[in-house]
Amino acid sequence: MLVQPHLFIPGPTNIPEAVRMAMNVPMEDMRSPEFPKFTLPIFEDLKKVFKMKDGRVFIFPSSGTGAWEATIENTLAVGDKVLMSRFGQFSLLWVDMAQRLGLDVVLCDEEWGTGVPLEKYADILAKDTAHEIKAVFATHNETATGVTSDVAGVRKALDDAKHPALLMVDGVSSVGSLDMRMGEWGVDCCVSGSQKGFMLPTGLGILAVSQKALDANKQKNNGMNRTFFSFEDMIKTNDLGYFPYTPATQLIRGLRASLDLIEMEGLENIFARHHRLAEGVRKAVDAWGLKLCAKEPKWHSDTVSAILVPEGIDAVDVIKTAYYRYNTSLGTGLTKVAGKVFRIGHLGALDEGMIGTALFNVEMALLDCGVKIKAGSGTGAAAEYFRSTATKSATSAEPAKKAA
């Protein structure tokens, strides 16, 4: 069958044609005297997506995991005490990395389906009068469970305690899709990756760093060893428009096109679109009589929904049925929620019709696997919501009538 597979995992996301074509170029000289004219504006335009007030953005040829590691190695030292929380697979992995790199982790272990525990953070920070905690970590959007946490609330906890710790945020599945106000929220390091809201293939670890974190980097020259992820090496060459090693030039060409699309749509419009599409998915889930992994509406993610299957149903069967019978890829459950949830990614280059496809195929897969839902219930609920909230755009407006 010569039909494009329907991709609804929470990353990699669908790649817009303009971005794909921008990467379809011959290899180029990344040391040419013309290269800085291309790269330097990208660094500045990335700052707009993070809504930064100062600092700089680094582009590593890695996944978001590499940017996680760069954050720790460049601002902290072995033995430093940090505050972290664990409530899903990706927050779990960041904790694991911190521990393996030698940090002393003060850990809040939370129920999966919840997020960053603001009250616990506030209490711990208030009691840390000696300011032993050097950094506070928060996973903005936990992809495994479809949970978004309140980064502004973490900043408030730090400010209320008058605590100087750095604020580190995992924004891999939020930046470019959910509002990230790095400057306003006082975020010091924000990690992202190319394969989510930036609508690119995997391969770029994008890390936004505040001036406070850059100053910490200078003070930590005797901290953790680092080479590939060295801020110092990056700064020396990035300032000239180059990189300390061979960059992923085609991906960066795609990034240029992605940033152009983001600017064209406008960040606030992008956030509103993601919220509306996510609400449509949530209407469908309600109509099916199913529940989200996220425990309360305050945790609902606008980039991914993790949907619990009923008792006696294996979510893996739903995922396999969707894949083999309906040419549709859904996200699987990870570790604690393996077999209990399937995930619909609704981030990046998506519209109502694409969400409708996902829900239609999920509905069939659920029915095939014995889940007792009414055919058309979820897709109908989403359609009614989308119709009732639609706004007529310039591209969808009726053509003007010709003068008589």
Q: Give residue-wise pLDDT tens across range 266-293.
A: 999 999 999 999 999 999 999 999 999 9
* Residue 175, beta-bridge partner list: 178
What is the Cα–Cα distance from 188 to 70, expressed in whole angstroms? 13
State mean pLDDT over 206-228: 89
For residues 176 and 270, the answer to whether their CB atoms sit within 8 Å is yes
The pLDDT assigned to 221 comes to 62
- Say if residue 338's pLDDT is above 80: yes
404 has pLDDT over 60: no
Q: Where are the domains of the chain?
A: 17-263, 266-389
Percent of the chain with pLDDT over 90: 94
Q: What is the pLDDT of residue 222?
A: 61
- Please name which of 263, 214, 216 lies closest in space to residue 53, comparing C-alpha atoms: 214
pLDDT band at 1 (very low <50, low <70, confident <90, very high): low
pTM of the shown model: 0.94
17-263 and 266-389 in the same fold: no
pLDDT single digits (tens) 189-204: 999 999 999 999 999 9
Q: Report the pLDDT value the prediction gives residue 401, as an integer from 0 to 100.
A: 45
Q: Fold for domain 17-263?
A: Aspartate Aminotransferase; domain 2 (3.40.640)
Going by pLDDT thresholds of 50, 70 and 90, the confidence category of residue 138 is very high
Residues 6+ apart with CB under 8 A from 291: 285, 307, 308
pLDDT in tens, 288-328: 999 999 999 999 999 999 999 999 999 999 999 999 999 99
Question: Does residue 397 carry a pLDDT above 70?
Answer: no
User: What is the dotted CATH code of the domain comprising 266-389?
Assistant: 3.90.1150.10
Answer whether residue 220 shows pLDDT above 70.
no
Rounded average pLDDT over 53-62? 96
